[in-house]
Each structure stands twice: as structure tokens, then as C-alpha cells.
Structure 1
Amino acid sequence: MSYENILIKKKEGLATVTINRPKKLNALNKATIEELHTAFETLEDDANIKVIVVTGSGEKAFVAGADISEFANFSPEEGARLARKGQEMLFDYVENLSTPVIAAVNGFALGGGLELAMACHFRIASDNAKMGLPEVSLGVIPGYGGTQRLPQLVGKGRAMELIMTASMIGASDAKDYGLVNHVTSQEELLGLAEKLASKIMKNSSVAIGAAIRAINDNYRDGVNGYDTEIAEFGDSFGTEDFKEGTTAFLEKRKPNFPGA
């Protein structure tokens, strides 16, 4: 499939999705959100893809926010529909993929851009990255999960401060806060993403998907994550990956997981 706003490159089990609107600093508009959904859906269904990396084109921005011109004149009802549809189509969708998604944050990740990065399973950043949720400076609040995921990652107090002050933080502070896992140079960012992806791909994709579900359930209202862990742990015993992993361990060799 051809896309107008994103690029996809596949290499040895790794898919790199690049948001490609450099003149708009890769801002998320409706079309880009729809294309990203289609891309993630396609990659999730591709048994050959074990890890997905998301990044932005150019040197200035991962995603500098949502495209404000699309919703500046919306009514309250239209605004609510925009947030709900966006969360369901992209942000919640990414969070719940069984294929691991790494955000490689290069440059600005603001508003919807930071919300997209936070929906990914974890984040790495270039040393020139700047992150923030500046929505209150526009008279609105984050609508793509930012008020929920930021406190989960950095704690309630820091999230309150960042959102209420509309401040940006650099990569070093983001790492100290737990918002990103690693910081490197812009030149080495995708190389680091590939290195992390290669480590992930050595392990069972079936088990990784189960771990993602168990971890996510810890943050769902009315769901006991421990119960999910127990169920997923038990289900693992019926997989071919478990048979291969345990057999390889006992035979003192590296496993060759079938992904089933």
C-alpha cells in the first residue's frame, strides 16, 4: 500500500515507520492518523515483523503536535468525537498491539506527538529532543491520552506541573523522569533502536505479546493485572514457543522460536 504522509521500511523482522510531513514538523492531521492506523494494523498482521520503530522525518521533529488548523472551529461535541476517535484508532491501538513498538524521538515531541510516543511500549530519544504537552496554552487539554499516560510514566506531581505550565523538557530531564529509557545522539538514534529491537527479536514474540497484555492490564480500571498475569502465564505452557524455549535451555543451545 502507498502512503502520502508516512514511510515504511522493513529489514530483518524490524519495521520502521517514519511520519513524513517535514514542512509541518510531522504534525498529526486526520489523514496521517488514519494512515498510521492502517500501517500498524498491517504490520501487526505480518508474522515476519517482530518489532516496530516509530520516528519522524528530518532533524527537527518527531511529531510537533496535532494539526490545529483542522479543529480550531470545532464545537464541544466535535471535539469529544475527535478525541475519542483518535484514541481508539491510533493511541490506544498502538498501546495494545502485541508487536512491541519503540518510539525513537528525534527533536520536538509536543502535544499529540508526545502522546503518540507515550502510547508506544517504550521510548528512546536523541539529545536534542524536546517534549511537552502545551495544550493549556491554547485553552484546551491533552485529548489523546496525555493526562492519563504522563502521570503513569513520570508520576502525578511532575505530570501536573508539565501540563499546567505547558513546559517543554529536554532529553536529559525526560530520562531522569522515566519518560524515556535511553538518550543518544541524533546520528545514533535509529542505530540504538535497531540494537534494542535485535535484543527483543531473540525472544519469544508470543511471550512478549502476553507480557504486554499483562502489563497493560495493571493500568485498567476494574481489571486485576495479577489475574491476567496468571492466565497468560498458564497459557504460555500450551505454546510451541514454550516447548522450544525450555527444550533449548535443557539442551544448552539458543532457541529458534516458531512464534506460535
Structure 2
Amino acid sequence: MAVLAGCRVLSQAFRSQTNSLDGVCRLQDAINHAFGNKIHYVRSAAHGGVRQYSSDSKSGDDLIVRYLDGDDSGIVVFGLNRPKAKNAISKNLVNLMSEAVESVKKNNKVRTVVICSMVPGIFCAGADLKERAKMHQSEVGPFVTKARGLITELGNLPMPTIAAIDGAALGGGLEMALACDIRVASNSAKMGLVEAKLAIIPGAGGTQRLPRAIGVALAKELIFAARVVDGTEACKLGLVSHSVEQNKSGDAAYHRALELAREFNPQGPIAIRMAKLAINQGIEVDLKTGLAIEEACYAQVIPTKDRLEGLAAFKEKRPPRFKGE
């Protein structure tokens, strides 16, 4: 009965609203109100200022953020760029990525985020242990908390996220990829949560996201053994969705990720965000509650101009022109 009551509350909350991408945040609030503490949420607001697109926007030496244009407008690429440190996660990289995540979170024109490496042969080697060794013990806890918060915020972005793994993704590097909706790897890429070798455990979501991706028993096996698998094996395990043969330029996974982003781009942006919200929140609860969440998300798309545009385009046998309204 509580589920049905919650469903009615959610449906009523959105039946009369004019929808836009701003509705994602409002819907999360309504879901939380309807179902109380059954689900834990980290807000990922989809509203706010809009940053102008450019073909190459430099956020800092350690991270290159590119807003693609032309036919790829709406795709944003986060390029990890610490060649000397194998893209290891440092204080500066965490700060730069946090700013980048916050920027795209507030940008309604962003359709997909792709995370890749600008350094051949490496995705991310995990924590910057050289920097960590220089930290006072009192600094370690707050830094790990901030890094964990970054990966959580990445996982809660309202638009699709794709990790393009063209090289080694170890420890925190794999945890970053696990926070993305989809992972694509070259067949020669190496992946593993290897923290047990350092007598610690994955601390940025690895113990939670890996079991959800590949199952509890396999996740325990990989974490307990600190095992590293290649892209081909990762695909068999379900750790990545696609494993592609590496090319001469070392960016085959990135190109496959772009292909996926280009498949997402023409679809209704509100629908994509609502589908992601319904899946992410519904998978954590029982089926009845999940179905109520789906109904609430569906209610968000019914009054949109995009839905009417989709019907008109189908009738007129032309491609739809969705505006996120």
C-alpha cells in the first residue's frame, strides 16, 4: 500500500508540470519524499548556467576538457593528462575533475560525457602514491573522502557517461570507470582493484560497484586476489560492455565510446535522463518500488514538447529535432 500511495504522490506531483531538463532534480526530490529513507540519494541537479561550447576547452594541464561541436555537439570529453604520473589521482586532478563534473552537471546542452586518457597505454594508475607518501596522516582521510565524493558525483551525473579504457585502469582508476554508466576497453587494456597488495581495500566505491557490475562472487575473487584482467576477459566478466582491438594510435576504445555517444545524441535528452534516473534508483529497491519510480519518471516525459516532436516526426517520416523541452 505504501508503494501505491507513493506512486500516486509522484504521478500527481508531475502530471500538471511543464517539463524540461530541470525536472530531473525535482523528480529526485519527489521520489525521496514519496519513499522516505528506502533509497539514499546524492543530488545531481540538471539545471543552472550554460557554458558555451568550444572544440577544445583547457581546464588545466592535468585534465583537458573538450566540448565537441558540429554533429558531435553535446558530447563532452574529459581527457586525463598526467603522463609522468600515469594519470594517477592527485589533489590537483581531483580538484580539476570536480570542477568539470560540476560544470557539465549544470549544463542542459550536454548529452554525453566521455572519460578517456590523453596518455597512450594508460587510463589511470589509481592513487598518486608518491604524493600520498608526502601527506601527513591527518591529510590522508580528507583527501580520500574528497576523491570518493568526486567519483560519487561522477556516478550521479544526470546524462550518460562512458569510460574509454585504452590502457591500464587500476585501483582508483578502475573505480572511476565503474562510476560511469558504460565502459569500453581495448582488448589489451589492464583492469583490476589491486588495493589488497598494499594492505588496504578499494575506498572509492569499488567494493560496491564491482559486485553490482559482475556479481558478488566474481567481485570478491578479483578483489581478494588483487587480480588484473585484460579487456577481452573484462568483457566476458561483464566488467566492460565492449572490448575492441587496439589500433596503431592507441585510442580504439575512445573511438568506440564516441560511436556510442553518437548513437545517444539524436535521442530525446529528457527521456535519456529520465531513463537513467529510473534505472539507477530502481535497481536498488524492490520491484514494486522500482515500478513506481519508473511511473514517476514516465510522467515527466508525457507533457514535454520533445514527446510531441517525436510523434510529429514519426508521422511526417523525418528525423526528430529534440530541444530538451
Question: Is the shorter-chain TM-score for this pair beyond 0.5, marking a shared fold?
Answer: yes
Letter in 2 for 1:201: N
Counterpart of 1:177 in structure 2 is 237
Letter in 1 for 2:227: S
Larger Rg: 2
Q: Distance in 2 between matches of 1:219 and 1:4?
A: 38
Tell me whether 168-177 or 223-232 shows the greater mean CA deviation.
223-232
Deviation at 1:17, TM superposition (A): 1.0
**Structure 2 residue corresponding to 1:45, chosen from 89, 96, 106:** 106
1:96-135 to 2 correspondence within 5 Å?
96-135=156-195
Counterpart of 2:43 in structure 1 is none
**Does structure 2 retain, via aligned residues, the 8 Å contact 1:96–1:212?**
no
Q: Distance in 1 between matches of 2:83 and 2:136?
A: 26
Deviation at 1:228, TM superposition (A): 1.6
Deviation at 1:196, TM superposition (A): 1.0
Deviation at 1:49, TM superposition (A): 2.5
**Does structure 2 retain, via aligned residues, the 8 Å contact 1:124–1:182?**
yes
1:1-260 to 2 correspondence within 5 Å?
2-11=59-68, 12-72=73-133, 75=137, 79-88=140-149, 90-187=150-247, 188-220=252-284, 224-260=289-325
**Does structure 2 retain, via aligned residues, the 8 Å contact 1:105–1:125?**
yes
Q: Distance in 2 between matches of 1:225 and 1:84?
A: 30
Aligned residue for 1:71, secondary structure, equals: helix
Q: Distance in 2 between matches of 1:155 and 1:249?
A: 40
Give structure 1 stretches of 5+ with no counterpart.
none
Change (3 A) 1:81 1:131: same
Give structure 2 stretches of 5+ with no counterpart.
1-57
Q: Distance in 2 between matches of 1:3 and 1:78?
A: 23
Q: Distance in 2 between matches of 1:225 and 1:6?
A: 37
Equivalent residue pairs, number: 258
Q: TM-score, normalised by structure 1?
A: 0.92
Counting aligned pairs with the same residue, the percent is 37
Deviation at 1:51, TM superposition (A): 1.3
**Does structure 2 retain, via aligned residues, the 8 Å contact 1:101–1:122?**
yes
Q: Distance in 2 between matches of 1:204 and 1:120?
A: 20
Aligned residue for 1:125, secondary structure, equals: strand
Tell me whether 125-134 or 43-52 shows the greater mean CA deviation.
43-52
Q: TM-score, normalised by structure 2?
A: 0.74
